[in-house]
Amino acid sequence: MFNNDPLIFVENVSFGFQGLEVLRGVSFVLYRGDFMALIGPNGSGKTTLIRIILGILKPSHGRVVLMGQEVDQFNQWQRIGYVPQKATHLDPYFPASVREVVALGLLSGKRFPRLITHQDEAAIERALEQVDMKQLKNRRIGELSGGQQQRVFIARAIVNGPDVLFLDEPTAGVDAETHARFYDMLAELNRNKGLAIALITHDFGIITKHVNKVACLNQRLFFHGTHEEFCSSEVVQELLRGEHHLVCHRH
């Protein structure tokens, strides 16, 4: 029902680092309402691709268009939420409360001077409510468990009501129960708000349960299609080299 609106357009993107080819000719489109898993072995360029899409790295070739604007000129960062991989390696003594961390997400929608006002409190409360963390808003972020911290980072990423959310292995080191609750929450945001999600993961359980698109990367894009196409793809089975057994039906 959301799939008519292209949000992210990646065209023939290549990237090299110190003479090594990291990405080669990667192209795909992410639409409103997509929940896409970006999978691939370690060192396959998944994080690099996300960093290029977000303008943190410049591609050596190709282009990225975000919501109709070239990434170089893009200025609607409040429409994009990002939870980086290193969010799971937070300094436990960093003196920021949960509320303060979520408030940082509001800066992308503000002009100079970027100050948080009393009017912003409602948005912060709403975002914390969505991830079920409102009761811990005055806690220091480092005091929370890994799963709770990830929910706070999601709240920071969605506090502006973005159209797309990028997550880089968001549940690394998180226990099984929190892991399941976390992905249920993402699926709900995707279903109810039409939030497009691009998720780097090594977890094939997530792919079988929640996502509707899969992109398989190993320097180049081996596969990009629906969950069903992914399950029947020979290229993907070859890439996995029998390391994983996929159960491709939804409960």
Partner 1 sequence: MPPSLNSPMDILLSYAFMQRAFLAGFLISLTCAILGVFLVLRRDAMIGHGLAHVTFGGVALGIFLYVAPILMALGVAVVSALGILKLKERAGLYGDTAIGIISSLGMALGIILVSAAGSYNVDLFGYLFGNILAIDPVEVWMSFILALAVLSAVAIFYQEFVFLTFDSESAKVSGVRVKRLDALMGMLTAVTVVLGMKVVGILLVSALLVIPAAASLQVARSFKEAMLISAALAGMAAFCGLVAAFYLDWPSSGTIVSISGVFFLIFYLIRLRCKSPKGGQNVPGSPTDLIKLGE
Binding site for partner 1 (CB under 8 A): 54-56, 75, 77-78, 80, 82-84, 86-87, 91, 93-97, 100-101, 103-105, 107-108, 113-116, 138-140, 143-145, 147-148, 156, 178
Q: How far is the CB of 67 from partner 1 (least distance, A)?
A: 14
Of the pair 82, 204, the CB lying nearest partner 1 is at 82
DSSP code of 180?
Answer: H
Residues sharing a CB contact under 8 Å with residue 242, sequence separation 6 or more, in sequence order: none
Evaluated on CA atoms 95, 197, 44, 72, the torsion sign reads negative
- Name the minimum Å distance from CB 82 to partner 1: 5
Q: What are phi and psi of 232, to 5 degrees?
A: -100, 5
Closest approach, Cβ 180 to partner 1, in A, equals 14
Mapping DSSP to helix (H, G, I), strand (E, B) and coil, where does residue 217 land?
strand
Q: Which one, 172 or 240, has the nearer CB to partner 1?
A: 172
Q: Which is nearer to partner 1, 91 or 234 (CB)?
A: 91
What lies within 8 Å, CB to CB, of 20 at 6+ separation is none
Residue 77 CB, shortest distance to partner 1, in Å, is 4
The two structure tokens encoding residue 41: 């072995």
Nearer to partner 1, 69 or 237 (CB): 69
Question: Which is closer to partner 1, CB of 19 or CB of 113?
Answer: 113
Q: Is the distance from CB of 87 to CB of 170 less than 8 angstroms? A: yes
Residue 208 CB, nearest approach to partner 1 (Å) = 26
**Least spacing, CB of residue 129 vs partner 1, in Å:** 18
Q: Tell me if residue 210 falls in helix, strand or coil.
A: coil
Rounded to an integer, what distance in angstroms lies between the CA atom of residue 39 and that of residue 217? 6
Judged by CB, which is closer to partner 1: 156, or 210?
156
Longest dimension (CA), the chain: 55
Residue of 90, 46, 87 whose CA lies nearest to 201: 46
The identity of residue 88, as a single letter, is: T
Closer of 104 and 235 to partner 1 (Cβ): 104
What angle, rounded to 10 degrees, do the helices at 146-158 and 121-130 form?
Answer: 130
Give least dist CB 47 to partner 1, A. 11
